[in-house]
Amino acid sequence: MATPSLREALARIAGPEALASAEQLPLYSVDGVVPEAAVAPRSVEQVLSVVRLAAESRSAIVPRGGGTVIGAGMPPERHDIALETRSLDKLIFHEPADLVACAEAGMTLETLNKELAKHGQMLPLDAPNPGRATLGGVLAANTSGPRRGGYGTARDRVIGLKVVDPSGTLVKGGGRVVKNVAGYDLPKLFIGAHGTLGVIVETALKLSPLPAKTATVVGAFGKVGQALEAGLAVLDKGLRPQALSLLNGTAYRLGAKHAQMPSISDRDYFLAVEVTGVLPVVERQQTTVQRTITEAGGKAVIADDSIQQEGFWRAIVDTGRTAQHPATMITRFACRWEAIEKLVLGHEAQAESNGFEAAIEVYLGVGVGRSAWWADQRGEPDEVKLAAIVGILRKAGEISGGPFVVEVAPVGVKERVDVWGPAGGGFEVMRRLKASLDPDEIMSPGRFLGGL
Amino acid sequence: MAKAVRNRDLVDVLKTIVGDDHVLDTPEDMLVFEFDGSIEKRPPQAVVLPASAEQVSRIVRLAYEQGVPVVPRGAGTGLSGGAVAIEGGILLVMTRMNRILEVDTTNRFAVVEPGVVNQHVTQQVAEHNLMYVPDPSSQKTCTIGGNVAENSGGPHCLAYGVTTNHVLGVEVVLPDGEMVWLGGFEQDRPGYDLLGAFVGSEGTLGVATKVMVKLVPEPEAVKTLVAPFKDIDDASRAVSTIIARGIIPAALEMMDRMTIDAVGPVVRADYPPDADAVLLIEVDGPREAVDADAASVESICIELGAQEVRGAEDPKQRERLWAARKGALGALGRLAPNYYILDGVVPRTRLPEVLRRVNDICKTHGFRVSNVFHAGDGNLHPNVLFDERVEGEADRVLGVGEEIMRACVDAGGSITGEHGVGLEKKSFMRLMFTEEDLATMTKVKQAFGATENFNPCKILPTGIACGEGWKLSRLPSIPGAYL
């Protein structure tokens, strides 16, 4: 791509101040691939023009929000334009009595939630670094966290979406009402598409009321089986926790450190339960969870101080994603109850024998887990070893049929294993959809499953 | 579309696939399959009832190769014409595939065949204190496959979400006959969310042959409240106030005076004679939460002018409170020979004005209307009463429907909340969507491999082959219609 003309054309569309300087460009690199230009359009019209320009010149675009999860995926085959949504940050409306808000995609999760909190409401989607994570990025990556058990994921929250498709056309799906079956559910296709079908520019969302009271109960166990037993018992007692997370020792202690909670160094597995509601509901659930933990052989710790709880869960969601303590590799997997113990122990065995430390969390009742990996001695992470670990754990996961995705890894790992793993059912339909919407492969080319 | 296969040959081939007893092709046998719960009617060339996914695949492949239209169908309770073979061809009736294949109480899912009746799922898992949430009012007859196609709702979807929030995976026969699994228990599968696109695609992207549904624990406590209001505007305001104060009831339904009057003197006697609207509210969850929510709901209703608030926790008493709501549609037959059930959505805060607008539209055109609907979701169901025997009335009632749909869209809403677009609302799609939006939907359809013959002429107003080939047929009386 002829660099000066592309940059000039982008400057004509969005103004020179919307363009990153040449010195800033390395900040926009994705897996080491530095773009020719980075532009932050200030209106949907400008996004349309940028994408049209790219479509005409067959320049590859990698859309990005706050860049917090931009590492998910294979290295881009081409990266001409980094298209930042951060300047599209308006709240379009918030109607508290409808429990609905509509915002531009570049608004950060934290900004939105601060606004909603003024009216006692929230968008309960967990994402690391919410001060930088944008709505568009959270949707494109389908980011989720511990509270998905109680509140669902972006799939359950998005009621409408506006997207600039790869031809530079504005396309809308859904609407602004909470119940709507008019036409195909297009928003579902763009959620979790990692920017390969278009640029999300606006979204309408179903909100939740802020709970009157929240408490977190942590159970500490010697064996993973005990923690799982307690988790299952919590669900069987008809309790409705918003979060029910199994944590290994590393994961728990990272959270505990940030929240000044006891480190409980003599136990290796933890069950962290968040219960919400009016005071009597929280009190009874808290007592029941506590008793359940004790019955399963655990030791219960309660955090009802809201700052402590917030700090704890924030640290859990941010695990491996902070600037201070970034993980070398982060994975996400899914499995049934019966496979959880084996997968957790498998992770730990791999970590130990290869000289890594791994923080593991599994959202019980949902069956989704994640692990963050750090080399336990100073020095370069061994990419060959990490790639081998992915292969082994993926194989273990395959037995239960679940996906095993690498969300963060050095390029050296991505050169050795596919971060997405094998394609499942309907891949041919996906391929045709991509080919039809993005025939010239200009949207995040080569980054998604099977090269989508 | 040219029919490459003569009817006789088609029937013979179908019989070799499913057996002689499971293909119907005489006009008498096919009579009940000519229509669904909507206003459309058309006989298929043949009705076939497969017993397995393999048979479905062979039938769909045959239709694909021969260029014969094929239309999947569950129990036929749909209200927008999705299961009508409007271009003739093969009507693929899934009701023989009605086994519950697996119930996993630990991972909390069930795998069922598409012909399983909605309510049978909950009945099957009730002993484990689990339930399948979406509860369309036709749940005693409608099938899970049909629910997946229509992304069905129901009164209890306010707090818990609609079908798409409760389906984990589907085995699908694609329009070319290929069989694939979309989704599954394990979440966050990489790739495009084809499951999400499939649910609610009204049988135009493939045929579900197995459905994996989420099961959730029964709530510890349930309380039902009824609150009659002298002024329907106050009832509407109570709805958005309840939501605004952070209470999301399991169900929040409204019936207007016309509906209450229709359900008969016994139920009518339960409400003050001058009640203009009744709210039916159900709260569930942990005991203390139910008590707290019920108390708040009661005080909000009183604050906004409810004449009284009565509550019940005992299942029998709760059932009595629900009786009027559940019997409402059946009772409308007492008021007029026919009624046209509409389905539109508006933001909850716009309910008062849109309800007034609906009533004005009907009044202007000289029709009576009964409103009984999912107020908490803003999902309106005006039932326009008419008499098809009166010359021109059927056509005029369709015009009223269109005006009401426009009113919903003008208020920022949707032309359908749960009944689907089907044939009925194709022409209204342009009220909500641009040509570009519709073109993207067409691309989705093509990506699934659907040709013009796969459940033809549904949802998208863009098909050139359609529109001339059929016209709105007469409006039948709908004794078994549901919402």
CATH of region B221-410, choose from 2.40.30.260, 1.20.1440.20, 3.40.462.10, 1.10.8.590: 3.40.462.10
Name chain A contacts of B425, Cβ cutoff 8 Å. Answer: 182
Q: What is the pLDDT of residue B266?
A: 78
Mean pLDDT, chain B, whole residue set? 92
Q: Do A336 and B447 make contact, defined as CB atoms within 8 angstroms? A: no
> For A395-421, what is each residue's pLDDT tens digit?
887 766 789 999 999 999 999 999 999
Q: Do B193 and A366 make contact, defined as CB atoms within 8 angstroms? A: no
Domain ranges, ordered by start, for chain A = 3-84, 91-209, 213-318, 329-414
Tell me, yes or no, if the two domains A91-209 and A213-318 fold the same way.
Answer: no
ipTM over 0.95: yes
Nearest CA in chain A to B183: A425
In chain A, pLDDT over 70 holds for what percent of residues?
97
Name chain A contacts of B417, Cβ cutoff 8 Å. Answer: 177, 179-181
Q: Between residues A295 and A382, which one has the greater pLDDT?
A: A295
CA distance A97 to chain B (A): 4
Q: Do B288 and A281 make contact, defined as CB atoms within 8 angstroms? A: yes
Which residues lie below 8 Å from residue A11, measured CB to CB, with a gap of 6+?
A: A18, A19
Q: What is the pLDDT of residue B479?
A: 39
The CATH number given to A3-84 is 3.30.43.10
Mean pLDDT, chain A, whole residue set? 95
Name chain B contacts of A175, Cβ cutoff 8 Å. Answer: 345, 412-414, 432
Residue with tokens 């309840």: B242
Q: Do A181 and B200 make contact, defined as CB atoms within 8 angstroms? A: yes
Q: Do A185 and B151 make contact, defined as CB atoms within 8 angstroms? A: yes
Q: Do A277 and B421 make contact, defined as CB atoms within 8 angstroms? A: no
Q: What is the pLDDT of residue A161?
A: 97
> For B99-119, what is each residue's pLDDT tens digit?
999 999 999 999 999 999 999
Topology of the domain comprising B100-217: 3.30.465
Range in A35-49, A428-442, B323-337, B344-358 with the lowest mean pLDDT = B323-337
Q: What is the pLDDT of residue B474?
A: 40
CA distance A438 to chain B (A): 11
Mode of pairing for the β-strands spanning B70-73 and B90-93: parallel
Across residues A126-149, what is the average pLDDT? 97
Name chain B contacts of A197, Cβ cutoff 8 Å. Answer: 192
- CB contacts < 8 A (A, B): 265
Cα(B402)–Cα(B409) distance, rounded to whole angstroms? 11
Split at pLDDT 50, 70, 90, the class of B470 is very low
Chain A interface, mutation test: which of B148, B284, B440, B454, most A Cβ atoms within 10 Å? B440
Encoded amino acid at B18, one letter: V
The CATH number given to A329-414 is 3.30.70.600
Q: What is the pLDDT of residue B388?
A: 87
Burial (CB count <10 Å: 0-12, 13-18, 19+), residue B1: middle
In chain B, pLDDT over 70 holds for what percent of residues?
94
Which residues lie below 8 Å from residue A6, measured CB to CB, with a gap of 6+?
A: A36, A37, A57, A59, A80, A81
Domain ranges, ordered by start, for chain B = 100-217, 221-410
Chain A interface, mutation test: which of B186, B418, B443, most A Cβ atoms within 10 Å? B186
Q: What is the pLDDT of residue A378?
A: 61
Q: Do A177 and B414 make contact, defined as CB atoms within 8 angstroms? A: yes
Nearest-by-Cβ selection for B162 from A179, A182, A281 = A179
Chain B interface, mutation test: which of A179, A188, A278, A338, most B Cβ atoms within 10 Å? A179
Across residues B154-180, what is the average pLDDT? 96
Split at pLDDT 50, 70, 90, the class of A3 is low
Nearest CA in chain A to B151: A181
Split at pLDDT 50, 70, 90, the class of B465 is low
Count of H-run helices and E-run strands, chain A: 15, 18
Q: What is the pLDDT of residue A4?
A: 64
pLDDT at residue A379 is higher than 70: no
Q: Between residues B394 and A252, which one has the greater pLDDT?
A: A252
Q: Do B412 and A421 make contact, defined as CB atoms within 8 angstroms? A: no
pLDDT at residue B39 is higher than 90: no
> For B211-236, what is each residue's pLDDT tens digit?
999 999 999 999 999 999 999 999 99
Across residues B163-188, what is the average pLDDT? 97
Cα(B82)–Cα(B75) distance, rounded to whole angstroms? 12
Across residues B194-209, what is the average pLDDT? 98
CA distance A172 to chain B (A): 6
Name chain A contacts of B416, Cβ cutoff 8 Å. Answer: 180-182
Q: What is the pLDDT of residue A237?
A: 85
Nearest-by-Cβ selection for B191 from A98, A179, A424 = A424
pTM of the shown model: 0.96
Q: Do B187 and A430 make contact, defined as CB atoms within 8 angstroms? A: no
Across residues A418-430, what is the average pLDDT? 94
Nearest CA in chain B to A119: B244
Name chain A contacts of B196, Cβ cutoff 8 Å. Answer: 155, 185, 188-189, 191
Q: What is the pLDDT of residue B64?
A: 97
Q: Do B292 and A232 make contact, defined as CB atoms within 8 angstroms? A: no
The CATH architecture that domain A91-209 belongs to is 2-Layer Sandwich (3.30)
Q: What is the pLDDT of residue A29?
A: 97
Nearest CA in chain B to A170: B436
> For A288-315, what is each residue's pLDDT tens digit?
999 999 999 999 998 878 899 999 999 9
CATH of region A213-318, choose from 3.40.50.12280, 3.30.1490.20, 3.30.70.2190, 3.40.50.150: 3.30.70.2190
> For B236-290, what is each residue's pLDDT tens digit?
999 999 999 999 999 999 999 999 999 888 788 889 999 999 999 999 998 999 9
Name chain B contacts of A371, Cβ cutoff 8 Å. Answer: none
Nearest CA in chain A to B165: A156
